[in-house]
């Protein structure tokens, strides 16, 4: 068995090239850890385990949008996360009409072991205004393929219901179909979502939110790709990392001295919330799973021209060890991400191996770092 050894000096700034990266981080208990992320790429072999590709995709340092970052969703989320509570399973691809025949609607699905996620895919539709009753929907336009992106899911920004402000849908401001008031300007020819949760479909009688504060009654956006960090409910999970809380409290106490006396108590009691580590998992709803073993069977439906595609993860179990000057330490290896590139018929797997270390202040004293991957 070949052993890859990577020696990195503490002053080396670019360790992200290739398929490994070293990151300092924290656990939910506030323990300082050094995490090695290892990324490997595999070719999908229908009916068999995936096989190693000739080239591994590099570790991704930052989120990559589908297009202009101002108005497009996330194609690839950053791999630079030192600790995830669970495995993200993410699929980028297209919906294919069954048997290649144009259809007005179909259901796509991805199944991993006993977990299954369905998305209802519907052809292009529009809403039409009726001042006396609920809006009406046009019949869906037949399609043979449909991009699976959150721009096509429920959401959007209503700029018509209130002339003084706009109303973004907090779960997906880049989607389509979100409208508050029954105005002709806002309703007529409003694009409706192509991707929906099968058990939470948008209907004419629930199109109008009526009161913006009731946006939570509306459908969850449906998809199989990355769910961005700044959308609810994920955004609400962000906060102070556990080991950083003492510093935050010290600074907050110091800053409070500059506030009027009658405001200090409120300021001290209403600080930044604790980090909920679920924030670091970015897969679509229903695709964040307890750590996978890496040998699970996967089946997809209507995500390829041939209809059903079945394969399994490769069963690889890499070993990751580190020596930071205290001798070689083996790590517990878990899977952070299973990224399925359906159009390319490839799968990326990102593993994490981590050890505890004294903390960020100690890094300047570190004399040795060797990473062992087998």
Distance, CA of 42 to CA of 113 (rounded, Å)? 18
Give alpha helix (H) positions in 184-286. Answer: 184-187, 245-256, 261-269
- Flag whether pLDDT at 310 surpasses 90: yes
User: What is the token pair recorded at 239?
Assistant: 């906060």
Mean pLDDT of 167-171: 98
Sole residue written with tokens 């300082």: 32
Distance, CA of 181 to CA of 318 (rounded, Å)? 55
- Flag whether pLDDT at 270 surpasses 90: no
Distance, CA of 86 to CA of 291 (rounded, Å)? 5
Higher-scoring residue by pLDDT: 300, 131: 300
Model pLDDT, residue 9: 37
pLDDT digits (tens, 9 = 90+) for 5-59: 344 433 333 333 338 999 999 999 999 999 999 999 999 999 999 999 999 999 9
Residues with Cβ within 8 Å of residue 27, at least 6 apart in sequence: 33, 83, 242
Distance, CA of 60 to CA of 112 (rounded, Å)? 24
Query: How remote is the C-alpha of 342 from its chain's centroid?
Result: 17
Model pLDDT, residue 16: 33
User: What is the token pair recorded at 345?
Assistant: 């018929």
Q: How many CB atoms lie within 10 A of CB 96?
A: 23
CB 86, CB 104: distance < 8 Å: no
Q: Please compute, for residue 341, the number of CA atoms within 13 A of its CA located in the half-sphere on the CB side.
A: 14
Name the band, by pLDDT with cuts 50, 70 and 90, for residue 1: very low
Task: Indicate the SS3 state at residue 119.
Answer: strand
- Flag whether pLDDT at 308 surpasses 60: yes
Percent of the chain with pLDDT over 70: 95
Model pLDDT, residue 268: 87
Model pLDDT, residue 323: 96
CB 26, CB 242: distance < 8 Å: yes
Of 169, 172, 165, 145, the closest CA to residue 72 belongs to 172
Adjacent-strand bridge partners of 356 = 33
Of 335, 322, 241, 244, the closest CA to residue 281 belongs to 335
Query: How remote is the C-alpha of 21 from its chain's centroid?
Result: 20
Strands (DSSP E) along 259-331, which ranges?
A: 288-289, 297-301, 308-312, 320-323, 329-330
Average pLDDT of the chain to the nearest whole number: 93
Model pLDDT, residue 13: 36
Distance, CA of 348 to CA of 341 (rounded, Å)? 8
Distance, CA of 77 to CA of 60 (rounded, Å)? 7
Residues with Cβ within 8 Å of residue 248, at least 6 apart in sequence: 240, 271, 272
Q: Please compute, for residue 15, the number of CA atoms within 13 A of its CA located in the half-sphere on the CB side.
A: 21
Could you tell me the pTM of the whole model? 0.91
CB 5, CB 308: distance < 8 Å: no
Distance, CA of 200 to CA of 125 (rounded, Å)? 17
Percent of the chain with pLDDT over 90: 87
> How many H-runs (helices) and E-runs (strands) does the chain carry?
3, 27
Name the band, by pLDDT with cuts 50, 70 and 90, for residue 298: very high
Name the band, by pLDDT with cuts 50, 70 and 90, for residue 315: very high
Model pLDDT, residue 265: 87
Of 364, 329, 345, the closest CA to residue 36 belongs to 329
Longest dimension (CA), the chain: 77
């Amino acid at each position: 068995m070949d052993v890859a050894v990577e020696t990195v000096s503490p002053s080396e700034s670019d360790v992200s090239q290739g398929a490994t990266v070293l990151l300092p981080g924290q656990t939910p208990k506030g323990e300082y850890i050094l995490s090695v992320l290892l990324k490997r790429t595999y070719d999908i072999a229908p009916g068999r385990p995936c096989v190693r590709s000739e080239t591994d995709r590099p570790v991704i340092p930052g989120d990559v949008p589908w297009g202009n970052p101002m108005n497009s969703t996330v194609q690839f989320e950053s791999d630079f996360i030192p600790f995830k509570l669970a495995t993200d399973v993410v699929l980028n691809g297209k919906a294919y009409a069954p048997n290649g025949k144009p259809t007005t609607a179909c259901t796509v699905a991805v199944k991993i072991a006993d977990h299954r996620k369905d998305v209802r895919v519907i052809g292009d539709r529009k809403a039409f205004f009726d001042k006396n009753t609920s809006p009406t929907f046009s019949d869906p336009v037949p399609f043979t393929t449909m991009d699976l992106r959150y721009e096509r899911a429920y959401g959007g920004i209503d700029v018509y219901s209130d002339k003084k402000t706009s109303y973004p849908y907090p779960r997906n401001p880049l989607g389509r179909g979100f409208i508050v008031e029954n105005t002709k300007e806002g309703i007529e020819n409003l694009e409706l979502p192509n991707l929906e949760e099968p058990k939470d479909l948008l209907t004419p009688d629930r199109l109008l939110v009526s009161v913006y504060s009731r946006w939570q009654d509306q459908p969850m956006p449906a998809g199989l790709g990355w769910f961005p960090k700044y959308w609810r409910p994920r955004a609400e999970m962000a906060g102070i990392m556990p080991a950083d809380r003492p510093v935050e409290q010290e600074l907050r106490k110091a800053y409070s001295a500059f506030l009027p006396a009658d405001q200090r108590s409120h300021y001290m009691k209403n600080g930044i919330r604790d980090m909920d580590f679920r924030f670091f998992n970015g897969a679509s709803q229903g695709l964040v799973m307890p750590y996978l073993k890496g040998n699970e069977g996967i089946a997809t439906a209507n995500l390829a021209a041939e209809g059903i595609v079945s394969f399994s993860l490769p069963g690889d179990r890499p070993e990751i060890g580190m020596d930071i000057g205290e001798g070689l330490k083996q790590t517990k290896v878990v899977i952070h991400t299973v990224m399925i590139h359906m159009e390319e018929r490839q799968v990326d797997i990102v593993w994490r191996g981590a050890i505890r270390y004294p903390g960020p202040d100690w890094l300047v004293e570190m004399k040795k770092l060797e990473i062992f991957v087998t």
